[in-house]
Chain A
Amino acid sequence: MSTFLDSLGGWLLVVLVGAPLLAAAVLLAVGDRVGDRTAAETGTAVAAGTLLVAALAAVGAAPYDRPGTGLSVDVAWIPALGVRFHLGLDGLGAPLVLLTALLTLLVCWHLVRVRPVAGRVRGLVACILTVESGALATFTAQDLLLFFVAFEVVLVPMWFVVALWGDDTQAPRVGEPSTPLAGGESARRDAANRFVLYTALGSAVMLLGLVLVALRAGTTDLAALAYAGGAGMSTTTQTIAATLIVLGLAVKAPMFPLHTWLPPAHTIAPTAGSVLLAGVLLKMGTYGLVRVAVPVVPDGVRAIAPFLGALGVAGILWGGLACLVERDLKRLVAFSSVAHMGFVLLGVASMTPQGLQGALFANVAHGLITGLLFLVVGGLKDRRHTADLEGLGSGLRDRLPRLGWLLAFGAVAGLGLPGLAGFWGELLAIVGAWNGEGALGPLARPLAVLAAVGTALAAAYLLRVLFLVWHGPNGRSAGAAGPAALFAPVTVGDATTHEVAVAAPLVVATVVLGLLPWLLLDVTAPIVRVLLAGVGS
């Protein structure tokens, strides 16, 4: 097996990145002759193939102990800028590559039976596959500027996903029929624009930092930069570069207070878009921190780590408090993403092995759990055209048991119940912060304590959701027959077998990673040691 993979070498990665892109181009080129069902099935087949290739590549990339050398392809691309088309897979990228391929497969499969509220499926699948390709390229890029290019690839297709296939059928809130929520094309366009403008501005700022690193370090090779650990760059240069790079990535992660693009985008996006935004795009930001910030400009990141950690914790608390009062379930899940990503940022800012490990673990766990939650909430919205907690009504447990149990599972996983995937990442991030005096200074312990308070907040808001929607008498709320009836439901009744089957892999993965966390920790441990070697802790 191993020799077979060796002979394939890095070209496996070219197939991994190229196949979804090619399929997207073909789907766009064939025109409307292809029906919705066929398009979704094609997408599913391509995504399944990509997942297979990703699995092969992940196996072939073992033992994951050196940056970018497991499997790699390396071709000169722009010699004048020293940029190479260099893809490589290591312990940092492998888990996220698998997560991306898995989530793409699930959302494409989801589209086979469940149509989005607006628009044709063919274009949506093409956009999803392009996003997948860009994300996979981001997670395998081993060159600073190639990373940037890949990072930018997802922008335009994701913008289209939100702007064209967004779910704008907002029923008025219960009890406030006179103030309908803004809906229609303008709402979609507004959410999509906010997403793309924030991210484009962040990327441009990050680019300045990347160019500074490339100029001062004299190379754009990420492995070489990681081994150099900032050597040859003064602390001032490193601090400027780290500030620019972290600012740019923090928009995408997102970091409080740069998160304000996230709730509207996640809320308006169709189910597939929400899952990919939360499960893949946010990860690109935090992955970038671990890949192009911490090992490349360690002194600079250490200088700004207290701010990063403090803003991460602010995100945890702000997200948690917002969730406590949020009435729209989809927005609530979006705000909980801000809180969860706060843990990831705190873990990175600690610059300790535990913290970084925790950040990487929480990244994957959040992708699985939030992906599941968005699938379930999207399912609920398909039935009632509202995600308003009161509009959904209580007693979901009895009325729609399958959806109800999936929601309950997602919620307890999200609040970090031990034994499920959400627990380990956040625990390790807090432990890392507690031990992170080296980077966080005197803030280390207070931040760890506040982050722990944040987990209590998570428990409070998720239990509130369960109390309002899942638990209680089988009472259809007063507004049930009113505003929600404005739109015909996409689906009626409880979750279909198809919907359960789509959600099942996420449930299984959440349980497996919760019970056997070392499956993931063993993959990331060696590479984290290498990346932190330059930090000198």
Chain B
Amino acid sequence: MSAITGVQAVDPLALAPAIATLGTILVLVLVDAVAPAAARLRRVHDAVALAGLVVSGVFVAVLGVAATGRDLGPVAGAAVRSTVCVAGQGEYTLPTCSFVVSPLTLTLQAVVVVGAIVCLLLAVDGPGARDRSVHHLLLLATVTGALVLAGSRDLATLVVAFETASLPVIGLVALRRDAQGAQGAVTLLLTAVASLGLLLVGVAMLLLATGSLHLDRIAAAVGDPTLPDSVRVVAVAGTLLAVAGIAFKLSVVPFHLWTPDTYAGAPLPVAAFLSVVSKAAGLAAVVVLLGVGLPALGDAWSPAVAVLAALTLTVGNLVALRQTVAVRLLAWSTVAQAGWVVLPLGAVASGTPGDARQAVAASVGYLVAYGVASLLAFSVVVLLARHHPAGEDHTLEAYRGLARREPVAAAALGFALLCLAGLPPGLVGLVAKVVAVRPLVDAGVWWLAVVAAANVALGVAYYLRWTALLVVRPTAVPPTWRVRPAEGIALGVSLALCVAFSVLPQVVAGLVPTALR
């Protein structure tokens, strides 16, 4: 444990996952400096980046095992690792830390690392392969930001980590180097910059209202019943602005407008990265800010989130119904899925820590299910795009009769789509939907629960339309695929995770930390 003194001490193990990716970035830069643009070093770049992510994942796992072992103690949830702390002073007797390794942190980090590994594997042979080192640098930088974001517990760290996880993505999108890619990158850049402004204003107002950057002190300050109404108004306004600033990253309607253009403009593995890792980072920021820092203002932000969730679900699904280009359908479906991810947060109007904890656990649980299913779907779409004359702009018709040529890939895609739809055999998706609506039913937010139920049917409509195409008789015989090892591993890993979580949905449902830290 870090020394609890006035001096800030750093616990390297707590930061190890992020340090691993950061170190990998340095190694990559060194390699690039020694042998600039050396095509024969491509595989070295790939191996270094992959190794960095794997090491980071191992650290997450080690910390996870340690946390599980200690969490079972009588003071459940207390024994988490934390670092960069300041001693308690004045009215705050407890030390307060900027970085906390809690079960929440570790779960989000695991999603980020696994998602990044699969996306990297998909990208190594994918389009834009000339930009190996640049691609890997940008990807690792985003991952580093997301990893820190999951553990950040003060507003300054949160904002910096959030931007670290956002800005490099713009570079990734631009890697396709054509008009569509440029358009996607510009759209994303404009959204990100505007959102940064909102986030900064929101954070500043929170600081103004509570006098602290540390989330646990903010939580104590806004939870104080003697808080004057005038101050509370500032805090609520700051909260809503900050949420609006983060929402674009989750593609929450009406902050979603960049999503379809950017997904269509980005290389497909980057679209997968946006839909899983970037979204995980967005959710991390939301749950850390709202769940850890501001549960006491739940009566203010929860209804707002509820409206956003309802809009996101409905708009995303309705537009997705009409899509014919595969990647655009996936883009709109990820908008709808973002609605499911934030849905439980619409049920914290009571503002009690228990409710906030349940809702955050449900949100993160849904993210895990959505993440693995989305990775699996993208793995197959990337493969198909490489073998289709229309490339990344192929329509759903390209999937006609896929089951006859590529039964394994077709089965995997069908399974992924059913997971996203929440129908058996995609049990992980079904259980995730149960988990997501549970807090709503518990809190009696019936209007939102009914909207969610209606959206299940909307989602089923287009996911099944796609699934059906896989098995009908093909009009033309598509070429047989030559699957490269990296793509095969990506497909295998995501398929294995989907199947494992479907057999043991406890992984998705059981993310109920005893305390939210």
Contacts and interface: CB of A to CB of B under 8 A. Distances in A.
Contacts of A203: 456
Interface string A175-205: 0000000000100010001001100110111
The 7 closest A-B CB pairs, nearest first, are A204-B453, A80-B510, A201-B457, A204-B456, A80-B509, A153-B424, A200-B460
Nearest to A193: B461
Interface string A300-327: 0000000000000000000000000000
Interface string B476-501: 00000000000000000000000000
Given A80-B506, A81-B434, A149-B430, A156 B423 contact: yes
B506 A78 contact: yes
A211 interface: yes
A200 B438 contact: no
B512 A152 contact: no
A81 B435 contact: yes
B468 interface: yes
Contacts, number: 91
A196 B462 CA distance: 12
Interface residues of B, number: 36
Contact of A215 (B433, B442, B467): B442
A205 B511 CA distance: 25
B449 interface: yes
Nearest to B449: A208
9 contacts: A81-B431, A123-B471, A145-B434, A152-B423, A156-B424, A160-B471, A193-B461, A193-B464, A207-B437
Interface string B442-456: 100010011011101
A211 B472 CA distance: 37
B151 interface: no
A287 interface: no
A290 to B, nearest CB: 23
Contacts of B450: 205, 208
Interface string A225-240: 0000000000000001
Given A79-B510, A80-B506, A80-B512, A211 B434 contact: yes
Contacts of B456: 200-201, 203-204
Interface string B502-514: 0001100111100
A424 interface: no
| A interface residue count range (under 10 / 10 to 19 / 20 to 34 / 35 or more) | 35 or more
Given A164-B472, A211-B437, A152 B424 contact: yes
B346 to A, nearest CB: 14
Given A153-B424, A208-B450, A211-B437, A78 B431 contact: yes
Among A148, A153, A163, A200, find the residue whose CB has the most chain B CB atoms closer than 10 A: A200
B460 A197 contact: yes
Nearest to B503: A77
A276 interface: no
A332 interface: no
A420 to B, nearest CB: 37
Contacts of A79: 506, 510
B427 interface: yes
Contacts of A208: 437, 441, 449-450, 453
Contacts of A495: none
A343 to B, nearest CB: 28
A493 interface: no
A207 B453 contact: yes
A152 B430 contact: yes
Interface string A154-166: 0110011001100
B418 interface: yes
A368 B446 CA distance: 40
A349 interface: no
B354 interface: no
A536 interface: no
A149 B450 CA distance: 19
A189 B468 CA distance: 9
Contacts of A164: 468, 471-472
